[in-house]
């Protein structure tokens, strides 16, 4: 299935690109997600999702396959697996940034292939939940990061990342999508991993 999300951020395209090259500045604002490793164009992280008393965690690997710093576009492949289940996913992600007057428009297209529990749910629910989570991330990025550049953070080591993962709160789909949708869709937040993969792989793209 294909998911397409578009949103805007009130910032120049160059400023947004620069922020998205600094993973440690924006990673804390991705709901339920923690970056655990970064090695060149390969990244690894974990995503926690909660519906009621049920929490699902995914290990996610992301690889950049193409980047164009001039056009502000990037392509990547992401693969994930449930930590305590048989569910898997693969996504081909294409993202772009474009100036639109005083704002920057970001467009993310994801070709998603899933197995396990997530496979029983349709494109509409995936798109709705991913879109709402991505909008929240964009709002936080604009208000808390772009509005206040702050000092350059130190690069994390592996032990720091693992510690952060343990303490990360899962994204609560009941709050994000409403009970009627969340009851049908336990691992919906997996789509967010594909959407936010764009942000993580912009690092080093200048």
First to last CA, the chain: 31
CATH number of the 2-201 domain: 3.30.530.20
Nearest to 4 by CA among 134, 182, 150, 165: 134
Q: Along the 206 residues of the chain, how does pLDDT read in single tens digits?
A: 888 888 888 888 988 877 776 666 777 787 888 889 888 788 888 888 776 666 778 898 888 888 888 999 888 888 889 888 887 888 898 888 999 988 999 888 888 887 776 566 666 766 777 788 778 888 888 887 777 655 444 444 443 444 343 447 887 766 766 655 555 554 445 555 555 555 555 555 55
Does this model's pTM top 0.95? My answer is: no
Domain positions in the chain: 2-201
- Sign of the dihedral defined by the CA atoms of residues 35, 105, 73, 89, in that order: positive
Between CA 26 and CA 87 the distance in angstroms is: 28
């Amino acid at each position: 299935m294909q998911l397409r999300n578009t949103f805007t951020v009130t910032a120049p395209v160059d400023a947004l690109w620069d922020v998205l090259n600094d993973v440690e500045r924006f990673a804390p604002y991705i709901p339920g997600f923690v970056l655990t490793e970064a090695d060149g164009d390969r990244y690894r992280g974990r995503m926690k999702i909660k519906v009621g008393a049920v929490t699902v965690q995914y290990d996610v690997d992301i690889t950049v396959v193409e980047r164009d710093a001039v056009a502000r576009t990037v392509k990547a492949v992401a693969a994930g697996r449930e930590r305590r289940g048989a569910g898997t996913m693969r996504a081909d992600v294409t993202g772009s940034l474009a100036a639109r007057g005083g704002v920057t428009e970001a467009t993310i297209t994801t070709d998603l292939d899933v197995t396990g529990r997530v496979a029983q749910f349709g494109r509409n629910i995936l798109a709705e939940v991913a879109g709402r989570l991505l909008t929240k991330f964009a709002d936080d990025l604009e208000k808390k990061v772009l509005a206040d550049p702050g000092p350059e953070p130190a690069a994390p080591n592996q032990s720091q990342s693992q510690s952060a993962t343990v303490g990360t709160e899962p994204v609560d789909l009941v709050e994000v999508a409403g009970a009627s949708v969340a009851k049908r869709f336990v691992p919906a937040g997996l789509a967010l991993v594909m959407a936010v993969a764009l942000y993580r792989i912009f690092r080093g793209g200048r």
